[in-house]
Structure 1
């Protein structure tokens, strides 16, 4: 294999080193740019996560004001059912009393007519 003459070897070596240095510099620049973009995205995402945490904390604080606990609902609905049963029983008793009064009155009317 023949060697390159010295007057061509040095400039060609400088060109190769320059190209490699330029490639490393360009790659480094883009890596730095990618890293900066990623840091900005991370900061933005951290802010969004903080906002979501705050919103969730506010939601948890407002839950007792907007919603009823299951146990409280069952307790109140049981009380309402008990009251409805009492009213139903009272209406039944009133209905029986009215039936006796009306039935007694119709017996008196029929006895008078005969």
Structure 2
């Protein structure tokens, strides 16, 4: 340790203690600032996640309706009468390896 005169120990110890407290205060300020910015980012991300969750819920509600109605309105499925029956029979024959009938194409 340093060999200081006895009358300098008290001022040097006070100065070192003050510097240590100032350094701790600066570190605490930056940690608090970083913590606050992390909280703000987390709140923003939570809001974005809530928005995405709402959009996903809307999609989940409307998805079956869209595909059911789209399937009903598809021109290949809307054939009526004999032609539609032939199409279904042709697809069954196709699955069995039999050539479907020619519809005049």
TM-score of the pair, normalised by structure 1:
0.59
Report 1 or 2 for greater relative contact order, CA contacts < 8 Å, sequence distance ≥ 6: 2
Q: Compute the RMSD of aligned alpha carbons.
A: 3.4
Larger Rg: 1
Unaligned runs of 5+ in 2: 88-100
* 1:8 counterpart residue number: 8
TM-score of the pair, normalised by structure 2:
0.64
**Structure number with higher helix proportion:** 1
Aligned residues: 85
| Structure 2 Cα separation of the partners of residues 12 and 30 of structure 1 | 27
| Structure 1 Cα separation of the partners of residues 36 and 12 of structure 2 | 36
Unaligned runs of 5+ in 1: 93-114
